[in-house]
């Protein structure tokens, strides 16, 4: 049965990143944006990443411009914004589509594993998928779910 570790994604620098390199870690996969009302969640995501990474946890950020054009920048602009505004140290990937025919295969898989309240489509930026150490999607959280509020769910998998 396929899992998250079977996919590859491009880094912000354009390099292929096999997600199997995250095998054995608990992951929180998030579609992000720099000009969204939820953008301040970068702070909480970074806090989770720094606090829990020594125990085998990682946040993976996937910028997306499908919701209100809230991620208009190129890879360099995204990287600069994340570094200067939120000191992001977790892996950030190249901008992707999360819905529609052009959706990244990882997001097609994630949505197929855990539907949201209104179906499988992602409704907005900062939708979060929690993945266990084996690469299985165990939960999906709405954009309104704060990173801090997810800590007990994450710790239960660590």
User: What are the catalytic residues?
Assistant: 36
**DSSP summary character for residue 101:** T
Spatial distance between the Cα atoms of 42 and 26, rounded to a whole number of angstroms = 18
Q: How many helices (H) and strands (E) does the chain have?
A: 4, 6
Phi, psi (5° rounding) for residue 61? -100, 130
Spatial distance between the Cα atoms of 93 and 113, rounded to a whole number of angstroms = 21
Whether the CB-CB separation of 72 and 80 falls below 8 Å is answered with no
Whether the CB-CB separation of 64 and 95 falls below 8 Å is answered with yes
Spatial distance between the Cα atoms of 85 and 20, rounded to a whole number of angstroms = 29
């Amino acid at each position: 049965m396929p899992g998250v570790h079977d996919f590859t994604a491009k880094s912000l620098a354009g390099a292929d990143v096999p997600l199997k390199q995250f095998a054995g870690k608990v992951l929180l996969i998030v579609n992000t944006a720099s000009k969204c009302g939820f953008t301040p969640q970068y702070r909480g995501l970074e806090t989770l990443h720094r606090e829990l990474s020594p125990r085998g946890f990682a946040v993976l950020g996937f910028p997306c411009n499908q919701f209100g054009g809230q991620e208009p920048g190129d890879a360099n602009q995204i990287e600069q914004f994340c570094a200067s505004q939120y000191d992001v140290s977790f892996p950030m990937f190249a901008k992707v589509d999360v819905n529609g025919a052009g959706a990244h295969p990882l997001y097609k898989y994630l949505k197929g594993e855990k539907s949201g309240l209104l179906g499988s489509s992602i409704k907005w930026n900062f939708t979060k998928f929690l993945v266990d150490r084996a690469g299985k999607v165990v939960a999906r959280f709405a954009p309104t779910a704060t990173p801090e509020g997810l800590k007990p769910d994450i710790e239960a998998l660590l």
